[in-house]
Amino acid sequence: MVAVTQATARERDASHADAITIPAERLPELGGPVKMKARGLKLWYSDKQALAGINLDVPERKVTAFIGPSGCGKTTFLQCLNRMNDTIEGVRIEGDVTLDGADVYDRSVDVVQLRARVGMVFQKPNPFPKSIYDNVAYGPRIHGLATNRGDLDGIVESSLQRAGLWNEVKDRLGEMATGMSGGQQQRLCIARTIAVSPEVILMDEPCSALDPISTARVEELIDELRDNYTIVIVTHNLQQAARVSQLTAFFHLGRLIEVNDTAEVFQNPGESMTKDYITGRFG
């Protein structure tokens, strides 16, 4: 009995000695430029290791999906890409993350600028309790992207348009954003992120709080955004990963088990664990 529990405990710990995580030289050919790169990324929450040396290339202007069972470190890894977990108490990080070849964890890097380049959309829609207009204008205002009201109006309109929300809200930009439906709120959050013209958009389960129709709209939106932005999306919905992404990465217990073209991962998984997961045998 005791032995079994110990074994499971060891298995759950990402630092487990037999960890299979994909070495950098076995990463797939992307056939295009790499936007972000992680090499040997390890992360501890106090003493608990959550990432066990991740190697991953994020292709530019494509959608990369992260899948894997709950607690496997998808959110943790995603947050490393724009250093959102810097502020968490007791976090220790080893390894490299680069954006266009430059280390994002370098001392000279200003997190504020990094996050303007690598934006984030959260799991639960989190609009500010301000007007719709002010929500979208928030980022441009703090970064000084608009010199006058006309410019700002332009940014707000184009962001809402690109988020597919303009027609629904153009007559009520002054209303409170918190009064919109959940799906609208999430698209507003996407518009708010687009408004600061990031290069990469990180999305952590952006549709998990939405109904199927809103989900479909957000998926359409992601598909359109791919032309201009590099997108990384965490999702528990495998069909969604198959629909919107070009590259899929499968995480398990803090390790990257498999990463490949989405079609390849879903039709012809290279690892038995991946196969078990996508066929619903565990996770």
Partner 1 sequence: MSLTFFTIVLLGLACTGYVMGRRRAMALARSQTAALHSRPVYHGWYVALACGLPAIVIWVAALTIGDQLIESAIIASLPQELRDASGPVLNRFLADAETLAKGGQPAIDVTPALVAASERFGNLRTLEHWIGFAGALGLGLIGFGLAYRRLSTALRVRQPVERLLMFVLLLAATASILTTVGIVFSVLFESIRFFSQVPIFEFLFGLQWSPQIAMRTDQVGSSGAFGAVPLFAGTLMVTFIAMLVAAPIGLMSAVYLAEYAHPRFRAGAKPMLEILAGVPTVVYGFFAALVVAPALRDAGASIGLLVASESAIAAGSVMGIMIIPFVSSLADDALAAVPNALRDASLGLGATRQETITRVVLPAALPGIVAGLLLAVSRAIGETMIVVMAAGLAANLTANPLEAVTTVTVQIVTLLVGDQEFDSAKTLAAFALGLVLFIITLGLNVIALRVVQKYREKVE
Ligand X SMILES: Nc1ncnc2c1ncn2[C@@H]1O[C@H](COP(=O)(O)OP(=O)(O)OP(=O)(O)O)[C@@H](O)[C@H]1O
Binding site for ligand X (CB under 6 A): 45, 48, 50, 68, 70-76, 88
Residue 147-176 contact track with Mg ion, rule CB under 5 A, x = bound = ------------------------------
Q: Give the one residue of 75, 135, 186, 260 binding Mg ion; rule: CB under 5 A.
A: 75
Q: How far apart are CA 51 and CA 23, in angstroms?
A: 14
Q: Which is nearer to partner 1, 17 or 112 (CB)?
A: 112
Crossing angle of the two packed helices 182-194 and 132-143, in degrees rounded to 10: 20
Q: Which is nearer to partner 1, 84 or 238 (CB)?
A: 84
- For residue 248, the partner it binds in ligand X, partner 1, Mg ion, none, with Cβ less than 5 to 8 A by kind, is none
DSSP string, 84-113: TTTTSTTEEEEEEEEETTEETTSTT--HHH
User: Among all chains, which residue has been given the structure tokens 């992307």?
Assistant: 30
Nearest residue to Mg ion on Cβ basis: 75
Adjacent-strand bridge partners of 44? 49, 92
Residue 110-149 contact track with partner 1, rule CB under 8 A, x = bound = --xxxxx--xx-x-x-xxxxx-------xx--xx------
Q: Does 235 bind Mg ion (CB under 5 A)?
A: no
Q: Give the one residue of 20, 176, 209, 216 binding partner 1; rule: CB under 8 A.
A: 176
Q: How far apart are CA 198 and CA 118, in angstroms?
A: 6
What pairing do the DSSP bridges indicate for beta strands 48-59 and 34-45? antiparallel
Q: What angle do CA 18, 19, 21 make, to 5 degrees?
A: 140
The residues that touch Mg ion, with contacts defined as CB under 5 A, are 75
